[in-house]
Structure 1
Amino acid sequence: MAAAALPEIREAEAPPDIAAIYAALREASGVPLVNLIHRHLATLPGVLPWVWQAVRPPLEDGRLAGARDRLAAAVPLPPATLLPENALSAAERREVAALAETYNRGNLTNLILLTALRRALEGTPAEPGPPPPAIAPPAMLPMPPPLPKLAALPPALAAAVQALAARHGDTGVVPSLYLHLAHWPGIPPALPGWLGAALDPAAIAAGRDAARRLAEREADALRPALALAGEVPNGHGPAVLAVLGTFTRQVIPAMVPIGLALRRVLAQG
């Protein structure tokens, strides 16, 4: 089954109230784009402002940045592969590396924060490890090119993007990194060769599970800093828990090792 695009409010299409929250998320995280999970939550009336209020304190005080660095260092990766010679020009390598770093920072941020939010909403007992160090938030990353729309891609390129998404199982989500890489049309069909074992479905599942377990420890350490303001608005609690479950148990933790593996490949030579 081909993955379909998840309903979302894109940054360029956001009404003023949603655009203001998008701007605050970008500023606090140092990520110049708003990740898919937030763009989807924006489609549920009243939900994104509630989520932003809940996650804002640890995002702004530096504890999330410390947890993010600690998680990235702990994620296990398959053996490294080599980027094929002449696969990218030097300029293209820099551009793709910058895009990968944007997704790495965004995915690590959202995996920790939204896992903390999900576990708090579920009432899961916290099992915190050592608190993360509070470090200065990093500088804003450079703005990537606009995110393409799947339906606007040439059929063969769209099929390559959907084939990458299909390696993750039937999640119903096309990870935005794969779609964004379509700016370089040769990359989506070549990515399995570049990343090797990291994109094998079994390795994706193992990496996902490892990243999820590590993130749960970091999330529990941050849970006391969340600012939950009552129930999820407008009766959207079940829908929010469902989408948080999909993203924090499947979509985001699966993409964390892949993004880190892509960064490692691009850093060679």
Structure 2
Amino acid sequence: MNGPFPAIAEASATGETADLFADIRATVGVRVVNLVWRHLATLDGALPWAWAAVKPLYLGGLPDQAAQRFRETMIVPKLASLAGDAPTSVDAVLASYDHSNTINLFALGALVAWLRDEADGGPPPPHGPRLRAPDVALPVLASEADVAPETWALVQRLNRLGDTAQPLILASMYRHLARAPAFLERVEAALAPVQADGFLDRAIAANRAAAHETAKRLAQAISAQRPPLADKIETSVSAFIDHAIAKMVTICRSIRVARGQPL
């Protein structure tokens, strides 16, 4: 895949990369490997080092406990109702990304904080039980050639909501939901007012800042040697944490609330 953050497709992964992708899926409890991991696989030695550094956090339930506390106070923009008929894949996609993005926000946020030497020296973060990952099947990730031009244009418009970074990372959640274009149109209509009045941007910024403070505490739990590509890994992972993942944590949660889903 080409783009500002090239990535290895799961179906194309071989050898050690395929093994690591399988371990990530099994450990995080998801059916697909998040784009940030697939991007790290394009950097020599970055994926095995980064996964070894943060896997113990996942196994210890640290990001899960952080996510649970975060959801109690996070700012969720109130959208017009999105309840009603939609393909079953819609709720599967939303549930999967609500789980994986929020967990990754803290695990990978801790990695960024560690690489920046920002680990908080306060009380160690608590271990605890892990959140149950949704056992759902997701539709095939759509690319531009797979959908109608107007649907791809809709995906691009949605991706610009809540983010001004250039170049933008295309959120994989929208690519999955591109298989349900009528639902995406309703999402755009619901998000447009909170984007126009600035509330969406403020909510994302506040949630990002709160998550970063927690991630600095989680960084204490990372035990690793600084890798040769440390600066490149930090630049890449922070772009996802500060933009795509932080943005989609807030947006996905607000969509699920608007659909009346059990959270």
**TM-score (structure 2 length as normaliser):** 0.88
CA 139–249 in structure 1, closer or farther in 2 if over 3 Å, else same: closer
Name the counterpart of 2:154. Answer: 160
- Per-residue deviation, residues 192-220 of structure 1 (Å, max 9, x unmatched): 22345444483332122112122123212
Pair 1:119 & 2:124 matched: no
Pair 1:134 & 2:128 matched: yes
Name the counterpart of 1:57. Answer: 56
Query: Counterpart of 2:255 in structure 1: which amino acid?
Result: L
Pair 1:231 & 2:230 matched: no
Pair 1:175 & 2:171 matched: yes
Task: Quote how far apart the aligned CAs of 1:257 are.
Answer: 0.9
Partners of 2:121 and 2:220 within 8 A in 1: no
Partners of 1:195 and 1:265 within 8 A in 2: no
Name the counterpart of 1:39. Answer: 38
CA 103–199 in structure 1, closer or farther in 2 if over 3 Å, else same: farther
% of aligned pairs identical?
Answer: 29
Pair 1:222 & 2:218 matched: yes
Q: Which moved more, 1:64-73 or 1:127-136?
A: 127-136
- Per-residue deviation, residues 166-216 of structure 1 (Å, max 9, x unmatched): 222234211111111101122333312234544448333212211212212
Query: Counterpart of 2:182 in structure 1: which amino acid?
Result: G
CA 151–173 in structure 1, closer or farther in 2 if over 3 Å, else same: farther
Name the counterpart of 1:246. Answer: 239
User: In the aligned structure 1, how far is the partner of 2:233 from the partner of 2:209?
Assistant: 21
Name the counterpart of 1:70. Answer: 69
Task: Quote how far apart the aligned CAs of 1:6 are.
Answer: 3.2
Partners of 1:121 and 1:241 within 8 A in 2: yes
- Per-residue deviation, residues 117-166 of structure 1 (Å, max 9, x unmatched): 11111112526577345114425521211211234332111111111112
Task: Quote how far apart the aligned CAs of 1:41 are.
Answer: 0.7
User: In the aligned structure 2, how far is the partner of 1:134 from the partner of 1:201?
Assistant: 39
Q: Which moved more, 1:166-175 or 1:19-28?
A: 166-175
User: In the aligned structure 2, how far is the partner of 1:159 from the partner of 1:5?
Assistant: 18
Query: Counterpart of 1:225 in structure 2: which amino acid?
Result: A
CA 150–238 in structure 1, closer or farther in 2 if over 3 Å, else same: farther
Specify every segment of 5 or more residues in structure 1 that has no aligned partner in the other structure, as ranges.
Answer: none
Partners of 1:59 and 1:65 within 8 A in 2: yes
Partners of 1:42 and 1:48 within 8 A in 2: yes
Partners of 1:11 and 1:19 within 8 A in 2: yes
Query: Counterpart of 2:117 in structure 1: which amino acid?
Result: G
User: In the aligned structure 1, how far is the partner of 2:215 from the partner of 2:32?
Assistant: 22
Query: Counterpart of 2:227 in structure 1: which amino acid?
Result: V
Q: What is the aligned residue count?
A: 258
Query: Counterpart of 1:26 in structure 2: which amino acid?
Result: R
User: In the aligned structure 2, how far is the partner of 1:37 from the partner of 1:143?
Assistant: 20
1:103 to 78, 93, 97: 97
Partners of 1:171 and 1:250 within 8 A in 2: no
User: In the aligned structure 2, how far is the partner of 1:102 from the partner of 1:136?
Assistant: 15
Partners of 2:79 and 2:255 within 8 A in 1: no
Task: Quote how far apart the aligned CAs of 1:265 are.
Answer: 1.6
